[in-house]
Chain A
Amino acid sequence: MQWEAVIGLEVHVQLATQSKIFSGASTAFGAEPNSQACAVDLGLPGVLPVLNEKAVEMAVKFGLGVKAEIGRRSIFERKNYFYPDLPKGYQTTQMDAPIVGPGVVDIVLEDGAERSIRIHHAHLEEDAGKSLHEDFQGMTGIDLNRAGTPLLEIVSEPDMRSAKEAVAYLKSIHALVTYLGISDGNMAEGSMRCDANVSVRPKGQETLGTRCEIKNINSFRFIERAINHEIERQIELIEDGGRVVQETRLYDADLDETRSMRSKEEANDYRYFPCPDLLPVDLDDAYIDYLRSQMPELPEEKKARFVEELGLSVYDANVLASSRAMAEYFDRTREICGDAKQAANWVMGELTGRLNKEGLEIQQSPVAAEQLGGLIKRIIDNTINGKAAKQVFAALWDGEGHTADDIIEAKGLKQVTDTGAIERVIDEVMANNPAQVEQYRAAEPDKRGKMVGFFVGQVMKASKGTANPQMVNQLLKQKLEG
């Protein structure tokens, strides 16, 4: 039987506010345990929440970015359950009237195909704290620094049909939130976390199969593995005559498996009701229009601009617009060097290759866009040739100079374009290789093209790579034809 997977994602995005969603404590990552958990975050008696305006603003911007209807009156509700990382015994969240209504996200698959994934809604809520399972005399330690960090939970429709689509969707969301500046998108620090609802059904069947929710997927790499693993598990189960049970499963990255979390599932009755400590959040047209006017260029618009105005290929545009940092780096490089195609080639080629090799993000690149732009400028104006450019790039990476020009100067990489100087080198090379010159001259004209390469190599070597390759080619041919 042919099976089809049906996948929906719930993505939790930590919003990049300074303070928490309902308190004035800092949201900075990595502080001493409980040093950023104020009385409100700890749920001490008598404390009250007040909503952070930036969290609202960021949620609305996301809504505008996915072309969603913005909730004119959104309501906060309490989701009641007991857990040590949940200090008040309830999570303040939104259910019936979320701040962001239905919308749509475009995704690009690896083969370049595009699809639209519908957003069911997105809502604001507070993050929980963390349980630390190191052994404290057999006890678990609770750190509530993260408690109260604003989250935007983005709930998709079950529109994805493969793990690859889920990854592409997650990448689109990542690009969008980083473009909007509403999250740092740092998955390693938990700024983006993902739960996946996965079910399978025979291909062609309309009704959905029973779904499982996989929790705790915290990287692009894991999401593909976790979902594929779950799809296989469900298919095997059904083919063996079993039945999928609706449950929550935890993805364990170390063991690369999902396992049932029945213990947490048991008797879940969250008793949602409107939070009486918070009032309805009313947003008017003027506010929404103002935020609309503040929207930065989004990935889709950026791609279109790259293709239409800069003449890049769709593939290049997709890659360069995939993250705000990449796009900004590219734009800056392009502005400095004045050549979009060269800039694209360098950013996607040499730079990305080196970053990948070193496991760095583009924000961490040792070579700044200004430096790369300056380097490309020198290729365009023929100051250096391509070979020397790679040497300059490596030197910039290693911090050997501040600008490309400094390095070109220090290393003497300036391209030789003086005809007389190149001719002198050619003469020298020909004098040192008389046998090869004779062979060349004896060869059929259509074979000579290949043979010229030997001389080019020798000349470049003798000039320490500084001779202009086009001029070398041209002058060599003249002299060899002699």
Chain B
Amino acid sequence: MALNQDDVAKVAHLARLAIDSSNTQAYADDLTSILALVDQMQTVDTQQVDPMSHPLDATQRLRPDEVTEADQRNLLQQGAPAVEQGLFLVPKVIE
């Protein structure tokens, strides 16, 4: 499947990536060639095969319901780009 510049723009938007418009064609070409590689999968019949999400046949372990984490706000916010009164700041959210 060949991707064009519009497809790249759409995917870049979904992934919230700013792509310089001078690069979209290059990305389109790269993604197209990667998809061509990936499309080799379509030659195999897998109708009867269960998808495998995980390499081992393990199951989820459950954790006791205990509060183990103390307040570490100061430490955890040390690298935050913008904080005020303990809140992370972002440009105004309009709903």
In the complex they form, whether A and B have CB atoms below 8 Å apart is answered with yes
Assembly CA distance A281 to B59 (angstroms): 6
Q: Closest CB-CB distance, A152 to chain B, in whole Å?
A: 15
- In the complex, chain A residues whose CB is within 8 Å of the CB of B63: 24, 50-53
Flag if B85 contacts A33 (CB, 8 Å): yes
Assembly CA distance A82 to B89 (angstroms): 15
Flag if A34 contacts B88 (CB, 8 Å): yes
Flag if B73 contacts A37 (CB, 8 Å): yes
Flag if A279 contacts B85 (CB, 8 Å): no
Q: Closest CB-CB distance, A267 to chain B, in whole Å?
A: 7
B44 within 8 A of A: no
Assembly CA distance A372 to B53 (angstroms): 59
- In the complex, chain B residues whose CB is within 8 Å of the CB of A267: 10, 13-14
Q: Closest CB-CB distance, A21 to chain B, in whole Å?
A: 10
B58 within 8 A of A: yes
Within 8 A of A (CB), among B35-62: 53-54, 58-62
Interface size class of A (residues with CB under 8 A): 35 or more
Q: Closest CB-CB distance, B32 to chain A, in whole Å?
A: 20
Binding site of B, secondary structure by majority: helix, strand, loop or mixed? loop
A121-143 CB mask vs B (1 if < 8 Å, else 0) is 00000000001110011111111
- In the complex, chain B residues whose CB is within 8 Å of the CB of A25: 67, 69
Flag if A139 contacts B59 (CB, 8 Å): no
Cβ contact of B65, chosen from A42, A52, A133, A263, cutoff 8 A: A52
Asked, given contacts A23-B69, A44-B76, whether A33 binds B13 with beta carbons under 8 Å apart, the answer is no
Flag if B71 contacts A279 (CB, 8 Å): no
Flag if A133 contacts B71 (CB, 8 Å): no
B68 within 8 A of A: yes
Asked, given contacts A51-B63, A53-B62, A141-B84, whether A276 binds B54 with beta carbons under 8 Å apart, the answer is yes
- In the complex, chain B residues whose CB is within 8 Å of the CB of A279: 54, 58-61
Cβ contact of B60, chosen from A19, A24, A281, cutoff 8 A: A281
Flag if B90 contacts A35 (CB, 8 Å): no
A17 within 8 A of B: yes
Flag if A56 contacts B90 (CB, 8 Å): no
Assembly CA distance A19 to B66 (angstroms): 6
Assembly CA distance A325 to B54 (angstroms): 45
B1 within 8 A of A: no
Flag if B86 contacts A32 (CB, 8 Å): yes
Asked, given contacts A51-B62, A84-B88, whether A131 binds B93 with beta carbons under 8 Å apart, the answer is yes
B20 within 8 A of A: no
Flag if A42 contacts B76 (CB, 8 Å): yes
Asked, given contacts A25-B67, A143-B87, whether A38 binds B95 with beta carbons under 8 Å apart, the answer is no
Flag if B85 contacts A141 (CB, 8 Å): yes
Closest to A282 in B: B59
Flag if A141 contacts B87 (CB, 8 Å): yes
Assembly CA distance A136 to B84 (angstroms): 8
Top 6 closest pairs, chain A to chain B, by CB: A141-B87, A24-B68, A53-B62, A54-B65, A38-B69, A33-B86
Q: A25-B67, A42-B76, A84-B90 are in contact. List 16 more A-B contacts (CB 8 A).
A: A17-B65, A19-B69, A34-B87, A131-B93, A138-B91, A139-B84, A139-B89, A139-B92, A141-B84, A142-B87, A263-B94, A269-B14, A276-B53, A280-B60, A281-B59, A281-B60
